[in-house]
Amino acid sequence: MSDTDTSHVQVLVVGAGPAGLVAGITLAGYGINVLVVEKRTEISTLSRALVISTRSMEILRSWGLDDAVRAGAADVEPCGWVTHTLASGEGTEIPLGYPTAAQAAMVSPTRPAWAPQDHLEPLLLARLRAAASAEVRFASELVTLDQRADGVRALLRDRAAGRMHEVAALFVIGADGARSAVRAQLGIGMTGPDDLAEYHSVQFRAPLGPIVAGRRYGLNVITHPEAAGVLAPRGPQDRWQYAREWRPGQARLVDATEAQLAELIATAVGVPGLRPRIERVSAFSFAAQIADRYRDRRGFLVGDAAHRMTPRGGTGMNTAIHDAYDLAWKLAWVLRGWADPGLIATYEIERRPVGLHNVIRSGDPNGARQEVDEALPRDLNGRLAHRWLHRRDQTVSTLDLLGDGLTLLAGRDEPRWSKAATTLGARARLTIHVLDDATARGIGIQPGAAALFRPDGRQVRHWPRFTPRLRVGYPSLLHRGSA
Ligand SMILES: Cc1cc2nc3c(=O)[nH]c(=O)nc-3n(C[C@H](O)[C@H](O)[C@H](O)COP(=O)(O)OP(=O)(O)OC[C@H]3O[C@@H](n4cnc5c(N)ncnc54)[C@H](O)[C@@H]3O)c2cc1C
């Protein structure tokens, strides 16, 4: 090692995939000094995840990214279509747990987007780079991590300059994916199988729009015996992916020639002679694993570092986004002095059961098939109900009323509730909104009642009638001893 020097940040995030980028953006939104390091020289160009869930889109919408994400999304029904070939015209629709535009409009100001990960990541990176208190450093690889009573010391290798650099941080977030170095350094094990199946995928371009006209589905499950697999659009243009599970005795797609791949895709599409432009062939193994813990003292795991899911159900990236958002606002609150450190313990308590559920479901060969009624509430995870309302000549969602601290939504009686809210003793910024009767009732607050929400929209406490002294059975959200 040569030229070791130390820089100081409040939070070090290792990995600039969806989890690391979301953690960085959320922390920087609170003015936290955050460094995101990524061992690659640029973000990944693999298209990977192809659906962004309703809740993930709500988080992205809160950062003004809704339209930009949707510009790179395929216009499809968020369902599966089981068919002989893409062109055959006959098939059976299967639910994948994602709401249609009409279903989403009932519960959310936005809807899922069938947009590939390599479209989302540059948008997140640009957003992070625009934040004053954030820095993103590429070609920077975490090598070792040392925990101390007052913080962590990370040794990073600058892969371009070939030298080592030390970073001292109060907290470290391991957002470094399935083979997490942070996880290894924290000594946290994984439980579950990591060799469920070997999958091969081919990314290609072909003008398939006219072939699927009127039957545009997010996933097309092809049953043709010579080309059984899944065909999925990757964005709004003519980019597609064909993927299939490798079975012993079968040729591996990674070993096939371009002509063989073209013939296979032509068979799956059902258009002999189709000439797809092959862009990339890759292999990956299915794993269904969860970290035994999500935390070791000042170190945390988020996303694939904390759980490895198969693509069935499309929850890998979405769970990563939700983990990162959850941990980041909690760390930010503690660092800003808005909550006592006990709040951070709720990260693992709240997020690991979600991760475990999604891991188990993704390991089920039928795990992709899910009814919206079951999957959507899980995705929304108990956040405040959505209703449109008018505020200062604008139509906004109830979700838009949530501040970065605590938000008290009151059904009328504003002066009294404002006075009562001072008894909370909250150090977090407190925002108070008085709702009209219809909106209040629509989200479960009767006129005269009030409810307190966290920034992620989860309810902290509900008071069915006016209460002059407010108490919250969640002391870690408040100034110690004040509740
Ligand atoms: C083929 C495929 C299809 C998928 N389909 C879906 C889908 O349909 N829906 C869905 O939701 N999910 C899907 N996923 C899963 C999704 O891609 C992942 O869950 C998601 O990328 C996880 O994000 P992450 O930020 O946790 O990890 P990653 O995206 O893996 O990012 C981790 C980053 O950390 C960096 N890193 C690693 N080690 C270090 C180190 N020591 N120092 C610095 N940086 C480091 C890596 O280079 C990487 O950029 C799919 C995955 C695959 C492989």
Take atom 20 of ligand 1 and give the residue whose Cα is closest.
317
Mutational pocket test of ligand 1: of 25, 35, 39, 167, the residue with most ligand atoms within 8 Å of the beta carbon? 39
Element (H, E) at 107: helix 101-107
Ligand 1: atom nearest CA of 15 is: 34
**Closest Cα to atom 14 of ligand 1:** 49
Question: Contact 280/203 with Cβ under 8 angstroms?
Answer: yes
146 with 6: CB under 8 angstroms?
A: no
What is the full DSSP assignment across 207-263? Answer: --HHHHTT--EEEEEE--TTS-EEEEE-SSSSEEEEEEE--TTSPPGGGS-HHHHHH
Q: Are strands 197-205 and 277-286 parallel, antiparallel or unpaired?
A: antiparallel
Q: How many angstroms does the Cα of residue 20 sit away from the middle of ligand 1?
A: 10
**Residue 231 CB-half CA count within 13 A:** 33
Number of the ligand 1 atom closest to the C-alpha atom of 141: 42
Give just the sign of the alpha carbon dihedral 297, 298, 302, 305.
negative
Whole-number pLDDT of residue 480:
41
361 C-alpha to ligand 1 centroid (Å): 19
Q: Which residues touch 275 (CB under 8 Å, ≥6 apart)?
A: 206, 262, 266
Determine the 3-state secondary structure of 119 from DSSP. Answer: helix
Rounded-to-integer distance, Cα 217 and Cα 53, Å: 16
Count of Cβ atoms closer than 10 Å to residue 255 Cβ: 10
Per-residue pLDDT of the chain (483 residues; tens, 9 = 90+): 444 589 999 999 999 999 999 999 999 999 999 999 999 999 888 889 999 999 999 999 999 999 999 999 999 999 999 999 999 989 999 999 999 999 999 999 999 999 999 999 999 999 999 999 999 999 999 999 999 999 999 999 999 888 999 999 999 999 999 999 999 999 999 999 998 989 999 999 999 999 998 889 999 999 999 999 999 999 998 999 999 988 888 888 999 999 999 999 999 999 999 999 999 999 989 999 999 999 999 999 999 999 999 999 889 999 999 999 999 999 999 999 999 899 999 999 999 999 999 999 999 988 899 999 999 999 999 999 999 999 889 999 999 999 999 999 998 877 889 899 888 888 899 999 999 999 999 999 998 899 999 999 999 999 999 988 888 766 566 544 332
- For the chain, the first-to-last Cα distance in angstroms comes to 51
Ligand 1: centre distance to CA 43 (Å)? 10
CA angle, 476 then 23 then 34, to 5°: 90
Q: What distance in Å separates the CA atoms of residue 79 and residue 433, rounded to the nearest whole number?
A: 38
The two tokens of residue 89 are 């015209």
> What is the distance in A from the centroid of ligand 1 to the CA of 317?
7
483: which 2 tokens? 């509740």
Nearest CA to ligand 1 atom 1: 48
3-state secondary structure of 140: strand
286 alpha carbon – ligand 1 mean position (Å): 13
Structure tokens at 337: 């002095």
For residues 204 and 278, the answer to whether their CB atoms sit within 8 Å is yes
Helices assigned H by DSSP within 250-315: 258-269
CA distance 312 to 366: 8
Contacts of 49 by beta carbon, 8 Å cutoff, 6+ apart: 18, 116, 117, 311, 314, 316, 317, 318
**What is the CB < 6 Å shell around ligand 1?**
14-20, 37-40, 44, 48-51, 117, 141-142, 175-177, 181, 201, 284, 303-304, 311, 314-318, 320
Where does residue 448 fall: left (phi above 0), alpha (psi -120 to 50 degrees), or beta otherwise?
left
How does DSSP classify residue 67?
H
Shortest-distance atom of ligand 1 to CA 52: 11
| d(C-alpha 35, C-alpha 390), whole Å | 39
Residue nearest to atom 16 of ligand 1 (CA): 317
**Alpha carbons 411 and 391: distance in angstroms, whole number:** 15
Q: How far is the CA of 471 from the centre of ligand 1 (A)?
A: 41
Instruction: Supply the residue whose CA is at minimum distance from atom 51 of ligand 1.
Output: 48
Helices 316-336 + 54-62 axis angle, to 10:
40
Q: For residue 403, how far is its CA from the centre of ligand 1 (angstroms)?
A: 30
Best residue for ligand 1 mutational test, from 317, 321, 322, 370 (most atoms within 8 Å of Cβ) = 317
Give the span between the Cα atoms of 280 and 254, in whole angstroms.
Answer: 9
Closest ligand 1 atom, residue 37 Cα = 43
How far is the centre of ligand 1, averaged over its atoms, from the C-alpha of 415 (Å)? Answer: 48
Residue 303 Cα to ligand 1 midpoint, Å, equals 8
Residue 137, both tokens: 């450093």
Residue among 433, 437, 444 nearest 403 (CA): 433
In the reported structure, the alpha carbon of residue 48 is separated from the centroid of ligand 1 by a whole-number distance in angstroms of 8
Q: Identify which of 280, 252, 276, 251 has the alpha carbon closest to the alpha carbon of residue 265.
A: 276
Contact in structure between 355 and 327 (CB atoms under 8 Å): no
Residue 470 and residue 359: Cα distance in Å, rounded? Answer: 39
The one-letter code for the residue type at 24 is G
Mutation probe of ligand 1 site: the residue of 14, 41, 46, 117 with most atoms within 8 A of C-beta: 117
Q: Which of 304, 351, 359 to mutate to test the pocket of ligand 1 (most atoms within 8 A of CB)?
A: 304
pLDDT of residue 163: 93
The H or E element that residue 201 is part of is: strand 197-205
Handedness of CA 198, 204, 210, 216 (dihedral sign): positive
CB atoms within 10 A of CB 57: 26
**Given this model, what pLDDT does residue 1 score?**
43
State which ligand 1 atom lies nearest to the alpha carbon of 44: 49
CA-181 nearest atom, ligand 1: 41
Q: Look up residue 4 and give its DSSP letter.
A: -
Q: Residue 460 C-alpha to ligand 1 middle, in angstroms?
A: 32
Measured in angstroms, how far is the CA atom of residue 177 from the centroid of ligand 1?
5
Nearest to 301 by CA among 320, 287, 284, 278: 320
**Distant-in-sequence, close-in-space partners of 305: CB < 8 Å, separation ≥ 6:** 15, 19, 174, 175, 176, 177, 178, 180, 182, 183, 291
